[in-house]
Chains A and B, each alone.
Chain A
Amino acid sequence: MAKYLAKRIFYIILTLFIVTTVTFFLMKFMPGTPLTNQAKLSPSQIHQIYKQYGLDKPLWQQYLSYLAGVVHGNFGTSFQFSDQPVSYLIGSRLGPSLTIGGEAMVVGVIIGIIVGSIGAVKQDTWVDTATTIISILGVSIPSFVLAVLLQYYLGLKLRLFPIADWGGFMYTVLPTLALAASPFAETARFMRTEMVDVLSSDYIELAKAKGLNKVGIIYHHALRNSLIPIVTIVGPLAVNIMTGSMVVENIFSIPGIGEQFVKSILTNDYPTIMGLAIVYCAMLCVVLLITDILYGLIDPRIRINK
């Protein structure tokens, strides 16, 4: 296990290095400057300012000095938020995105597993049809449409929850629901398909023949085996959701990271683009590692022996 982990961590570092390198050079091909007053600066003034930031140096030199900074934990300072360290910018805005994304994952996956299981157990009845319709709706309605509907009915009309802003649990409910739709639908669909398969397998028949009660069979035997594919999809889904949704965050005025990623690219904010690329990549790598370890816990057949 230790050897396996060491190997995986080595690969993670390698992946991070490759992603950093590719992002760095791709980003430099973008037209425009990172200067926020670009529209009013002449080329000679831009050159003058570039010199101060070291942006006039050859690309490979800029790359090496960036890498050197990263190794020492220095991700540079943002251009959009003048002088603000990128690590502080990401750190202070990632929290709300993680909170909402995390809540949405927990709510979505749990309800998804329950609804999917019910659908499978009640296969080919109206209950099954109903759960299928709900999950298809969940996949097909974009989160921002749901966000606007939730805001209008639950926030504006019924005044059950705040319309927008940030400051406590009540403020997280509507964005969580809006974001939870997609993980819910994905999990419910996978769960139902997998559970139908598992329920028709021999060992379930055996358990039934032994006279075990239905709830026991589903809980002890069927559920656990159906969870394997769920674990596969939940990892990447979690990263996707927790890195923030620009639209949902804007609709509910959440001070999250979602918009920064888009905006940093549009404004050529090089240090922020790099910082976010590294953070997202690291999150995905770690989640995939955790997923692989979880496989072993759920299914002994996949467990690593060495």
Chain B
Amino acid sequence: MKLSSFAKLGGVALLSALVLAGCGSKSSQSGSSKQELTWQESSNLPTMDLSKATDIVSAETLNATNEGLLKMSTKAKVVPGVAKNYTVSKDGKTWTFNLRHSKWSDGTPVTAKDFVYSWQRTLAPKTASQYAYIFDHIKNATKYNTGKASASSLGVKADGNYKLVVTLSKPQSYFKYLVANAQFFPQKQSAVKKFGSKYGTQSKYMVYNGPFKLTGWSGTNDSWTMVKNSNYWNKKNIKLDKMKIQVSKDPSTTLNQYNTDKLDVATLTGSQQVSHYKNNKDYKSFLNASTFYLEMNQKKDPVLRNINIRKAISLAINRKQLTNKVLADGSVPARGLVAAKMAYRNGKDYADQAEVKAADSQNLAQAKKLWAKGLKETGKKTVALNLLSDDTPAGKNTTEFIQSQLTKLPGLKITNQNLPFKTRLQRSQDGNFDLVISAWIADFPDPISFLSLFTSDNSYNNGKWKSTEYDNLIKNAEGRDALNAGKRWDDMVQAQKVLMNDQGIVPLYQQSTPKLIKSNVKGIQFFPTSPEWDWSKVSIK
């Protein structure tokens, strides 16, 4: 009896000691707040070869581990990167970048030659880069890319080790955004030669000049790390020591991992998760520069050439219901072709200035009136249209919703067709559709990234909408007014108004990325265009 109660007492003491010890180690851990971040990705990292990369995971990883002449910043601004400063000639064609003395992760200097080599490599026909088109304003870039000019004729030259001179074939005010993109980062020739066909296929077959170095990436695995680069020129301002990236493709697994503190940042997927966490203090939604819109095939269907028919289709759709009830994933109604909160001039959002309310809002009575008028004008009583979209959950939900909205127009019959992305894309390009839900993700935060799609000869203009006025405005923005920022901006504002007033497309919604972020993680930067995420200012409080 005595012994057993003694044992009990001892047991309790031991247990409480253990519990207390547990508490102690826990509190000391959170007190020191390790500068480490665990980040979730929904897809793999396919490559680190910037001449070949096309996806967002590659872009953000390249952006974290390398650095271009300039760096993207919030509100469509750029800040110095490897270039301390730059000047643009009066005719807007010559850009001169003065480079700082910075180093690669192997300790060798980053020079202007590394930029020249990198751009030449991306544009070399043999590389078969899928982003070569983004260099098209650089002198002889397209010619060199198609094998019609030599590498040495390309408009990028090193003037000594620390001065880079770029010659454009015509002025391009948004070139400053392009050089902040991964495609314009430097590459070290000796490293590319040394690693040969393995270059960029594993973390060890790369050199880095950015805030972090990539480690533990086997090229195909699902988790890798980024550690602080001790050779980075601005390392004293990098607070994060280490970042672990974990690929987690299943939405509920991701959430479970977040809730058990295995992840510091997690992406939410679908309406269920978003509606459940919408009011959580960790919830944040980030608006992407990606617009979803309806294209109407004017080449195939004469009825869609009628402006009243097109306007009726747009006016019949309740976009708020689409984003809040159907998609319910943080997306917002599109206010035109150009994404909102992407492009600014003098602090003003392009989307605010170029919006045509009547072309992106619902008015069923007006829609029915215009529809009846349109039918009369085209001499039709009934119209049957096929609505094409992707076979993703969001794609299916959207088509079902649009179908239900459009059948409110008397005599209109909509049949839905949801196909895998690449099949859908092929049909769009072949003009094999009546109505198609298309999406565009801008490459850089200038309205032209969207607007250039709908000039009459553009291959992405799947609906074959045509307007000479629009074509001229875009031509002026890219040519005559290219050096006059104010005029150029006005051209672009006017262009979207022309497109919307004629209902060349039906804007639907703008996509956003909903995330959960632990409250002790500070300083994550988000840009609506590539690379989207920047961790160079992150700290753990």
B128 contacts A by Cβ under 8 Å: yes
Q: Report chain A residues within 8 Å CB of B427.
A: 31
Q: Report chain B residues within 8 Å CB of A42.
A: 133, 459-460
Contact A155 B256 (CB under 8 A): yes
For residue A144, which residue of chain B has the nearest CB?
B250
Q: Report chain A residues within 8 Å CB of B2.
A: none
For residue A50, which residue of chain B has the nearest CB?
B128
Q: Report chain B residues within 8 Å CB of A164.
A: 248, 250, 253, 256-257
B49 contacts A by Cβ under 8 Å: yes
Contact A251 B44 (CB under 8 A): no
Residue of A44, A52, A166, A267 touching B126 (CB-CB under 8 A) = A52
B158 contacts A by Cβ under 8 Å: no
Which chain B residues numbered 173 to 224 have a C-beta less than 8 Å away from chain A?
A: 197, 199-201, 218-223
Contact A251 B250 (CB under 8 A): yes
Q: Report chain A residues within 8 Å CB of B222.
A: 166, 253-255
Residue of A30, A31, A88, A152 touching B219 (CB-CB under 8 A) = A88
B52 contacts A by Cβ under 8 Å: yes
Contact B262 A163 (CB under 8 A): yes
Nearest chain B CB to A36 CB, angstrom units: 4
B425 contacts A by Cβ under 8 Å: yes
A53 contacts B by Cβ under 8 Å: yes
Contact A31 B426 (CB under 8 A): yes
Q: Report chain A residues within 8 Å CB of B223.
A: 165-166
Given known A-B contacts A41-B130, A93-B220, A156 and B47 have beta carbons under 8 A apart: no
Nearest chain B CB to A99 CB, angstrom units: 15
The docked-state distance in angstroms from the alpha carbon of A152 to that of B260 is 12
Contact B55 A36 (CB under 8 A): yes
Residue of A45, A148, A165, A268 touching B422 (CB-CB under 8 A) = A268
Contact A92 B219 (CB under 8 A): yes
Contact A266 B425 (CB under 8 A): no
Contact A266 B128 (CB under 8 A): no
Q: Report chain B residues within 8 Å CB of A93.
A: 220
Contact A83 B49 (CB under 8 A): yes
For residue B453, which residue of chain A has the nearest CB?
A40
Q: Report chain A residues within 8 Å CB of B218.
A: 92
Q: Which range contains the number of B residues in contact with the other chain?
A: 35 or more
B247 contacts A by Cβ under 8 Å: yes
Binary A-proximity of B305-332 (CB < 8 A = 1, otherwise 0): 0000000000000000000000000000
Q: Report chain B residues within 8 Å CB of A45.
A: 132-133
Q: Report chain A residues within 8 Å CB of B411.
A: none
Contact A253 B253 (CB under 8 A): yes
A168 contacts B by Cβ under 8 Å: no
Binary A-proximity of B402-431 (CB < 8 A = 1, otherwise 0): 000000000000000000111101110100
Residue of A49, A166, A253 touching B130 (CB-CB under 8 A) = A49
For residue B128, which residue of chain A has the nearest CB?
A52
A43 contacts B by Cβ under 8 Å: yes
A73 contacts B by Cβ under 8 Å: no
B53 contacts A by Cβ under 8 Å: yes
Contact B125 A52 (CB under 8 A): yes
The docked-state distance in angstroms from the alpha carbon of A43 to that of B252 is 39
Contact A82 B46 (CB under 8 A): yes
Nearest chain A CB to B133 CB, angstrom units: 6
Contact B256 A163 (CB under 8 A): yes
Q: Report chain A residues within 8 Å CB of B248.
A: 164, 253
Q: Report chain A residues within 8 Å CB of B259.
A: 156
Contact A37 B260 (CB under 8 A): no
The docked-state distance in angstroms from the alpha carbon of A16 to that of B289 is 47
Contact A37 B130 (CB under 8 A): yes
Q: Report chain A residues within 8 Å CB of B421.
A: 32, 266
Q: Report chain B residues within 8 Å CB of A48.
A: 125, 128, 145-146
Q: Report chain A residues within 8 Å CB of B460.
A: 40, 42
Which chain B residues numbered 213 to 258 have a C-beta less than 8 Å away from chain A?
A: 218-223, 246-250, 252-253, 256-257
A89 contacts B by Cβ under 8 Å: yes
For residue A77, which residue of chain B has the nearest CB?
B197
B161 contacts A by Cβ under 8 Å: no
Contact A253 B262 (CB under 8 A): no
Contact A83 B130 (CB under 8 A): no
Contact B130 A31 (CB under 8 A): no
B131 contacts A by Cβ under 8 Å: yes
For residue B220, which residue of chain A has the nearest CB?
A92
A39 contacts B by Cβ under 8 Å: yes
Contact A253 B197 (CB under 8 A): no
Contact A252 B126 (CB under 8 A): no
The docked-state distance in angstroms from the alpha carbon of A152 to that of B421 is 32
Contact B422 A32 (CB under 8 A): yes
B73 contacts A by Cβ under 8 Å: no
B98 contacts A by Cβ under 8 Å: no
The docked-state distance in angstroms from the alpha carbon of A80 to that of B219 is 11
The docked-state distance in angstroms from the alpha carbon of A31 to that of B107 is 47
A62 contacts B by Cβ under 8 Å: no
Contact B220 A81 (CB under 8 A): yes
Which chain B residues numbered 38 to 93 have a C-beta less than 8 Å away from chain A?
A: 44, 46-47, 49, 52-55
A259 contacts B by Cβ under 8 Å: yes
The docked-state distance in angstroms from the alpha carbon of A254 to that of B459 is 40
Q: Report chain B residues within 8 Å CB of A83.
A: 47, 49, 52, 197, 199-201
The docked-state distance in angstroms from the alpha carbon of A41 to that of B426 is 11
Residue of A82, A89, A155, A253 touching B53 (CB-CB under 8 A) = A82
Given known A-B contacts A37-B54, A92-B220, A151-B256, A253 and B249 have beta carbons under 8 A apart: yes
23 interchain pairs, CB-CB under 8 A: A31-B422, A31-B423, A32-B421, A32-B422, A32-B425, A32-B426, A36-B46, A41-B133, A42-B133, A48-B128, A80-B46, A82-B52, A82-B53, A84-B220, A92-B218, A163-B256, A163-B260, A164-B248, A165-B223, A165-B262, A250-B250, A252-B253, A254-B222
Question: What 6 pairs between A and B have smallest CB-CB spacing?
Answer: A32-B422, A52-B128, A37-B130, A82-B47, A42-B459, A37-B54
Which B residues lie at the A interface, using CB under 8 A?
Answer: 44, 46-47, 49, 52-55, 125-128, 130-133, 145-146, 197, 199-201, 218-223, 246-250, 252-253, 256-257, 259-260, 262, 420-423, 425-427, 429, 443, 459-460
Known: A82-B201, A163-B262. 11 other contacts (CB 8 A): A31-B426, A32-B423, A36-B46, A37-B131, A38-B425, A41-B130, A82-B49, A159-B260, A253-B247, A254-B222, A266-B422
